[in-house]
Each structure stands twice: as C-alpha cells, then as structure tokens.
Amino acid sequence: MADDATGAGPAVGERIRRTREERGLSVRELASRAGLSAGMISQVERGITDPSLQTLRVIAKVLNTPLFDFFAAAEADDVAIIRADARMTIRSPHGGLTYTRLSPGSGRIEVLEGVLQPGASSSDEPWAHPSEECVVVTAGSLVVEVSGQTHRLGLGDSCYFDSRLPHRYLNDTAEPTRFTLAITPPSY
C-alpha cells in the first residue's frame, strides 16, 4: 500500500462509481471537474488504486456527497452499535492523521475520533465544506486554524465553528494528539 493510501478498499470505488452514475457524470467529466486523470478515476472505481484522503475529498466535493458516504454501511437501524473492533478507519496522506468513525455513517451527524501525529496537520492547506464542526481534545493539545486565526486547545477544550470557513487541525507538539470531532451534516 502506498504511503498516501487510505486503506479504502474496492467497495469505496464501487460507491464512487454508483454516485457518479447517479449524478449523470462520465468518468471523463468527473476527472475533469476533480482535476484528476480519467485513468485515476477508473482505477479508483475498479479498486485497483487506493486513493489518498485528499483525492477522496476532491471526488466527494465534485459529487456533492459526504466523504464518509463512500464508506457507508447498509441502511441504518433505529439503534446502531459500532463495535470498537469493527470501526472504519482511514488515514491521510503520509499517515499523519487517522480518522476512525464512531457513528454509523448513515445519519445527520458524523462523529469521528482523530489521531494527529507530532508535526502533522489534517490538510496541507485550510479547506472548507458545507457543515458545522465541534472538536474536543481528548489527549494532548491541538491547534485549530480557522480563517487564518489559530486557536490552541488543551485537554478537554473544545472548539465549534462553521466549516464553510477555511480550516484545518495541526499538532505542533512532540506527542500524538487525540480528539473527537462531530460534523453536521456529514460532508466532504
């Protein structure tokens, strides 16, 4: 598996293909809008290439669908139990960030546990998406950058913001940072 791979697996490619077709887009149209090659989209859809988190974000944005919908389970029951050993996990490029889904992925809120390695960030550049977020630090400290302003959070601190503002998370310490993140509605 490449260093920037997410561990997405072939089911993710199938969900991308299905969503693309539901939107009436060809592989070439999706590739053009996403700034990717048609070959890359085709390989992702066929499960040949394991896409990076950034690639999945771009595809999700073009398809106007929440990123984690690509990893969605079957229709949700009235009560969803997510066992600790069965949680879905994806890793960012270079492995600096890991997200583990705590919610079932079929509701109106996405709850994730994040682990940000020392010196890592959630993305190279701040980015925006149509949601609201609340992050709570559960171990270490976290820098939350929103619209160019930085906010340092310590253990137990939380931060709520409009995700339409460019943002990202940074760990400028020598220890891993662990946090819980709630996003509503789920988005790319």
Spans of all domains in the chain: 10-65, 84-184
Which token pair is 60?
């999700």
Please tell me the predicted confidence (pLDDT) of residue 31: 92
Q: Is the dihedral of CA 15, 31, 169, 117 positive or negative?
A: positive
Please tell me the predicted confidence (pLDDT) of residue 80: 81
Please tell me the predicted confidence (pLDDT) of residue 75: 55
CB 111 within 8 A of CB 103: yes
Please tell me the predicted confidence (pLDDT) of residue 154: 98
CB 59 within 8 A of CB 51: yes
Contacts of 158 (CB under 8 A, 6+ apart): 134, 135, 136, 137
Please give the full DSSP string across 36-52, using - where no structure is assigned. S-HHHHHHHHTTSS---
Please tell me the predicted confidence (pLDDT) of residue 66: 78
pLDDT in tens, the chain (188 residues): 333 444 455 678 888 998 899 899 999 999 999 999 999 999 888 888 778 778 888 898 899 887 777 776 555 567 888 888 888 888 776 678 999 989 887 778 889 999 999 999 998 899 898 899 999 999 999 999 999 999 999 999 999 999 999 999 999 999 999 999 999 988 76
> Any idea which residue has 């949680």 for tokens?
87
CATH number of 10-65: 3.40.50.1820, 1.10.260.40, 3.40.50.2300, 3.50.50.60?
1.10.260.40
Please tell me the predicted confidence (pLDDT) of residue 10: 60
Q: Is the dihedral of CA 32, 163, 100, 116 positive or negative?
A: positive
Under DSSP, the state recorded for 19 is H
Please tell me the predicted confidence (pLDDT) of residue 113: 96
At 100, phi and psi to the nearest 5? -120, 130
If we measure between CA atoms, which residue out of 112, 115, 116, 104 comes closest to residue 134? Answer: 112
From CA 175, how far away is CA 177, in angstroms rounded?
Answer: 6
What top-level class would CATH report for the domain 84-184? mainly beta
